[in-house]
Structure 1
């Protein structure tokens, strides 16, 4: 980039600096049009005087004898040629002016964005995002016309005027004077009146910015406005703002059309003088009629360039004022110098020396001192803890060390380099900063994490796809960066990583440091492989199937996999997928699948159509019953089905019509036939009717191949020995779907993970997470995921200085302690600065500093599924769950719709006598409701001869506290008779708690009763001799505490 680039303070200076050659070319083309214009004015006069009224014919022209009629046609054709040539020149001038204007506005916007990226961070606290976006886009847009017209337009219009005026004076000095008599009046009066209009336009723009800011603020805080009753006041504020805008616009209209009236009136006075003066001159014989007619025509032509000149003057004044205002807004004090931001230095030095803060002071926008004369030296490679309860202080310190905020006083040095004089590329390569709330850009996770390494294309010329030459040329003309985006942008130099494999290996080490390897590998099991990018991985997965199957058999878990069999119904697939023995292709829209009319007509002709529609009607009633009150956007509906809000409302309407006794029409039948393709038996938590399964298998054998052919690309057939890209990695590894208790499913997933680790593929699959689309500002990711991305982004550059401001805050203290130990091993030579509100354990740090008041104040569960319950109706099964949950004391305060929702989320479980539902140390998989039978809660390892902690009888809710606390089980739960219950999954229960305050409140009361009960029992124990130890110790059954 050209380091001399800048935003001139004056619009015309900016235009001339960056388009002088183009403007000169425009001026030459403009000047070339004037002789043609003059000839086009002379020809009409000659036609009237010399041809129509002439008598000397025939005439000799270029040695040719031409009669009167032929001469007339010749001059008319000449006039037409002049008009055509003048029009073409005008057209080309307009096109070229437009191109020049677009180049300049492109340059201006690029410069504004470049300035924006050099803003001091505190500037963004005083200007809203909406204002900045508006200035770069909407407010800069009107400058385009003025930039292209800056010099050529006034010259063109002025030249046309002068040509016409010269023509008038040639005909008669009096006509010339009549033509220009009122121009001085207009030249003075119109700009003066327009200046006030321009001033009001600026007022209007300021109010529009305020309106944009308040609209954006209201969108971001819509929930708080509603909850806190702020909507009336906010609407009143909008009313006042819109009122101010109305009155300004009204004044603008009044003045604008007054100017138009005055200008038009003065312009119409000119014909008055022509008719009066010109007619008099013709009467007295001093002017011919042809000359007068030509003069009147020319006088009409003079109005257009004069009007255009006035318009240019007005728009130029407004544009110049607009430009100057934008430049002021984009040139705040404290900006990073352009020499330190643009380009890239030849050398990126390491910052592996001591870090010194010399008298550093920082204040916030309100003038409050955050850092006051901080004197601090941190040895190279030290591990430093800086403690401050004030988040603003910690943020300020992190920003000043990374030069994101310049100090108000003092300076920062690293390895002898003054931070203020280092190029930004050096800081970006050598200093990493991670916070608990990083910003995530809309792209993939990998692109966000690798951002510090994507600093320049490193491919040689010709590598990758090069942009078209015309695009490169236009970018150079507009002063834009236009590096090819399709080349490899990974920088292997500054980071010390040799190639892309080294970067991937380093990323995996960072994942291990964060302690998320198991999490990512487990999540990878639920990912999909893309055929165009993961063909090699897919082949390796197929090769692993035999090993996984052998491990499952050895662990007696083979029956937990429902293998894909062309002759067997698979509850893990939807009804429609079972019918076709094929999987619906991704990506799906999130609603009911829409098939062509041909496919629907074919299915309707089959015997299976009747059972499918009856099944869908029953399922629709169950869904409407469960989600009718909470609405179709409830997270549980999105989690358990592929039915979107719009599809749910269509199903609700069908159910309403069905309840009123109306028959299904063709559209209803099409929707009901689509529903079975969107939901599985596993989604419902109950088996489908046996008759439906048998009918589906019979229809598959008869019509499966035909239906797959009719469906076309909407489904991918399930083929043994082939990888199905519309099934998850786990489904492909197992060649089937999972069933059974959560504990057994976790064991199966563990075996799959071990197979990937042993094959050396674990890293490849963990990094599949990098292809995930983040959404705008990381909207597709959880806060924890965004936090981890920010951490990895800071570490992946292998920084010399790493600043962690409350990073990975979601982790437990023990996890964070382990992270620091691993991080030290990962970056043994880096200086690490940890900023936290408190450090309970300080032994691992080389230096501990406490800052208060801106100054340093101190340094130094076994479950079995319910045997296949072939309920004849899904609604009946939902009713059974509803009845069981209604008997639970904790749920008696809930509305019917809320219990319906819990029933939909629950799953039947059944264990035999002496079997465990869960053991101490098991991961919490949900809460349990006893329906029949009895179970006991026992201390870990306690046998039946010891007194149980509690006896669980029908109607009891167990395990809800572990779900809320997100802790593993600490006691055992064992059935003492055949036991049947309901399990509400952990994720489903948390979804309901987070979206329904009533459920959350009831569970909070339950937790309170738990704690109150423990407190009372402990008080009783303390009153005796045994104390707490006696209360906690297992004791023989029947023995009581004295």
Structure 2
């Protein structure tokens, strides 16, 4: 299971001695014969003390803190809320989920999301529930395969006695033929087919049975083949079957449920559990249990809204962690093929960190984290494990100055070492450059630049203080620099021929001004003045162009900025009272989009 993987580092030796005088533990016998360890795999190996903890509950709490450190709590919840739990193993959680059903339904109605959930109703046919569940208004107690259901003669006799065999087989025939026309014999590896959950060998067998029945009738089928074909509707929902599931058949099923449902549930109590508000349904997911229903197959984006609502309610009741830790019970396939890459990365991280190591190395892991995500991770791990050394290996770091030591390796050789240090107050030049670099790196537009280009911009930048009322540039002047506002405020305005000033936009700290004019190498299109004492960083036009022309990150950022300005340019012009000329009129001077 995932839990076995996560706890591997806390299982270094057996903590109990297995009492096995009759030598029923075959692994020990085989281990001795093979010359391997005689330690029993049946003994208790888990040692919370290796992580400085006392109980399994302590381990769960500590693991969840680690998950939160990589912003993984919501990811873990969304993964596990769509999975199943065994209510016998987690009775408290199952009871709490059942208790939330009413609250969840009321919130769904408030948000208008109840329409995309097929809630269980004893008087209605549920298109998201398989035929067997609809017939008895019950849910499976365990996983029942079609072959297994076909061998349940008593259950199938009950279906035949209720007069459902003829129409049930007809539905099966239509569905199998439709699947065959859609996927053929060689399309069983398609994701749409695998999503149906049909075993490939069983599918081929059903196709053969359906084709033989089409050509020669029911007489060509053995009793086992007829039974297997009859189980097909029990493996699918009306939504999956689609138009092939007739409305009349739904009404027949409801009529039988009304009169014979209780008797059928009693007869099949070893296979099904009654659907009722007080019962947890073990073969349904946590999400389906708390919804007391299933999300419609055509819910689309509203399914995400339902998930968000459920997550919010679980958080309010402090159940998010209880759902997340059920991940320990999930079985894993070979190489973790049933687990997403993102999920595997978080699991690997928490397995390594759970034992509170002295050194933790991230070798190009958690690749989805952006610069801010890495910063949060380092800070949180630093708080959780203040004595631990963190080492990160990657081919690029957005903010190398954030690390205590930054080592660059090129071609297997160390190509440079930088070490963070407290700025020397006497070294005014390096201190000045560091201040500029921090400002450049912290700016939204420049934050994702290559570190070398950030340093180049910082080197080229000059402090540019401006007094209130002072003009920074005027319309028609050459674009000789860009200006990054650090403090204070400014105003961009249009000056008409009669001297009237038309306000275009206010400029506040963090905003870059004049960049498009520099890129286009065109004169300024607006006037720009300070409305209060302000401080800017001024970067010369040639230096600015030399950096952005070699970094596609900032080019894309500028493109997005300009696109946003273009989208609202007409509205801003109208709001400013500017005349927008006709196509045949002489146009006014263009407005610099970046300044808007």
The match for 2:117 is 561
Equivalent position of 1:548 in the other structure: 104
Whichever structure has more helix as a proportion of its residues is: 1
Match of residue 675 from structure 1: 232
Q: 2:60 aligns with which of 490, 504, 515?
A: 504
Q: Residue 321 of structure 2 is aligned with which of 763, 776, 779? A: 763
Question: Deviation of residue 801 (structure 1)?
Answer: 1.0
Q: Indicate yes or no: 2:278 matched with 1:715.
A: no
Map of 2:191 onto structure 1: 635
Residue 806 (structure 1) shift: 0.9
Note the aligned Cα RMSD (angstroms).
3.4
Match of 1:852 among 394, 398, 410: 410
TM-score by length of 2: 0.65
Q: Is the counterpart of residue 842 in structure 1 residue 397 in structure 2?
A: no
Which residue of 2 is the match for residue 703 of structure 1?
A: 260
The answer on 1:644 being equivalent to 2:202 is no
1:662, distance to aligned residue in structure 2 (A): 3.8
Gaps of 5+ in 2: 419-558, 572-579, 588-596
CA spacing shift, 1:635–1:1029, aligned 2, 3 Å: closer
2:427 is matched with which residue? none
Residue 336 of structure 2 is aligned to residue 778 of structure 1: yes
Map of 2:499 onto structure 1? none
Correspondence for 1:59: none
Cα separation, 1, equivalents of 2:403 and 2:212: 70
Q: CA deviation at 1:855?
A: 2.5
Indicate which of 253, 272, 286 corresponds to 1:729: 286
- Counterpart for residue 583 of structure 1: 139
- Runs of at least 5 residues in structure 1 that lack an aligned partner in the other structure: 1-443, 861-1021
Of residues 150, 154, 162, the one that matches 1:606 is 162
Number of paired residues?
A: 429
Q: How does 1:855-894 map to 2 (within 5 A)?
A: 855-860=413-418
Deviation of the 1:556 alpha carbon: 3.2
- Residues of 2 paired with 1:584 and 1:680: CA distance? 14
SS in 2 for 1:494: helix
Deviation of 1:780 after TM superposition, in Å, equals: 3.3
- Partners of 1:610 and 1:642 lie apart in 2 by 25
Is contact 1:590-1:642 (8 Å) kept? Answer: no
User: Shift of the alpha carbon at 1:535?
Assistant: 1.6
Contact 1:510 / 1:792 at 8 angstroms: preserved in 2?
yes
Query: In terms of Rg, which structure is larger?
Result: 1
Q: Is the 1:591–1:642 contact (alpha carbons within 8 Å) kept by the matching residues of 2?
A: no
Q: Does 1:653 align with 2:189?
A: no
Structure 1 equivalent of residue 251 of structure 2: 694
Structure 1 match to 2:468: none
Instruction: Please state whether the residue corresponding to 2:361 is helix, strand or coil.
Output: strand
CA deviation after TM superposition for structure 1 residue 1035, in Å: 5.4
Structure possessing the higher relative contact order (Cα contacts under 8 Å, 6 or more residues apart): 2
Report 1:963-1002 matches (<5 A).
Answer: none
Q: Which moved more, 1:473-482 or 1:593-602?
A: 473-482
Q: Where in structure 2 are the equivalents of 1:352-367 lying within 5 Å?
A: none
Contact 1:592 1:675 (8 Å CA) reproduced: no
Matches within 5 A, 1:611-630: 611-628=167-184, 630=186
Displacement of 1:519: 1.6
- 2:127·2:238 contact (CA, 8 Å) conserved in 1? yes
In 1, the alpha carbon distance for the partners of 2:160 and 2:192 equals 31
CA displacement at 1:814 relative to structure 2: 5.0
C-alpha separation in 1, matches of 2:564 and 2:360: 47
Give the Cα separation in 2 of the matches to 1:476 and 1:804.
Answer: 35
Contact kept? 2:2, 2:327, Cα under 8 Å: yes
Distance 2:111 2:216 in 1: 54
Cα deviation, 1:934-971, whole Å, max 9, x if unaligned, reads xxxxxxxxxxxxxxxxxxxxxxxxxxxxxxxxxxxxxx
Residue 571 of structure 1 aligns to a residue in which SS?
Answer: coil
1:468 equivalent to 2:21? Answer: yes
Q: Provide Cα deviations, 1:241-288, integer angstroms capped at 9, x if missing partner.
A: xxxxxxxxxxxxxxxxxxxxxxxxxxxxxxxxxxxxxxxxxxxxxxxx
**Inter-partner Cα distance in structure 1 for 2:313 and 2:65:** 20
Q: Which residue pairs with 2:79 in the alignment?
A: 523
Q: Cα deviation per residue 1:90-127 (whole Å; 9 max; x = unaligned)? A: xxxxxxxxxxxxxxxxxxxxxxxxxxxxxxxxxxxxxx
Q: Deviations over 1:291-320 (max 9, x none)?
A: xxxxxxxxxxxxxxxxxxxxxxxxxxxxxx
Q: Deviations over 1:967-997 (max 9, x none)?
A: xxxxxxxxxxxxxxxxxxxxxxxxxxxxxxx
Q: Distance in 2 between matches of 1:592 and 1:653?
A: 19
Distance change in 2, residues 1:753/1:777 (3 Å) = same
Query: 2:164 and 2:146 mapped to 1: Cα distance?
Result: 25
SS of equivalent residue, structure 1 residue 858: strand
Deviation for aligned residue 1:507:
0.5
> C-alpha deviations, 1:21-48, integer Å up to 9, x for none?
xxxxxxxxxxxxxxxxxxxxxxxxxxxx
Q: Is the 8 A contact 1:800 1:830 kept in 2?
A: yes
Quick check: 848-857 or 482-491, which moved more? 482-491
Cα displacement (A) at 1:471: 7.8
Report the 3-state secondary structure (helix = DSSP H, G, I; strand = E; otherwise coil) of the residue aligned with 1:849. Answer: strand
**Aligned residue in 1 for 2:367:** 809
Q: Given the superposition, is the C-alpha separation of residues 595 and 584 from structure 1 closer, same or farther in structure 2, using an over 3 Å criterion? A: farther
Q: Answer whether contact 2:356 2:385 (CA < 8 A) is retained.
A: yes
Structure 1 position 618, deviation (Å): 1.8
| Residue in structure 1 matching 2:69, options 485, 506, 513 | 513
**Matched position secondary structure for 1:528:** coil
CA distance in 2: counterparts of 1:477 and 1:729, whole angstroms: 44
The verdict on how the C-alpha distance between 1:812 and 1:589 changes in structure 2, with shifts beyond 3 A counting, is: farther
Distance in 1 between the 2:98 and 2:385 partners?
38
